Amino acid sequence: WFYTTGLLSDIVLEVEQVSFHLHKFPLVSRSGRLAKLIENASDEGNKICCIQLHDIPGGAYAFELAVKFCYGVKMELTASNV
């Protein structure tokens, strides 16, 4: 899964068997939990940070909605997608 902004992704988050190729800034600016995970993983010195996320409620689908929120994408929240 890629979110296209014109910039190369600098982080890969894996949820279930889905890889999300993303950018650190939108994530750390909106999520304290992801900011801590990214900070810890970035200390390892890799150019592209790869993090596996386990036990995400709602799995990859719910995480995709959270990512869209972090990127400022307008979306409709309903009882079926929350």
Work out the number of other CB atoms within 10 angstroms of the CB of residue 35.
14
What pLDDT does 51 receive? 92
Token pair for residue 36? 């801590």
Token pair for residue 58? 């709602």
Supply the pTM of this predicted model: 0.79
Residue pLDDT, tens place only, 29-75: 999 999 999 888 876 666 778 899 999 998 998 899 889 888 889 88
In terms of DSSP bridges, do strands 11-15 and 49-53 run parallel, antiparallel, or are they unpaired? Answer: parallel
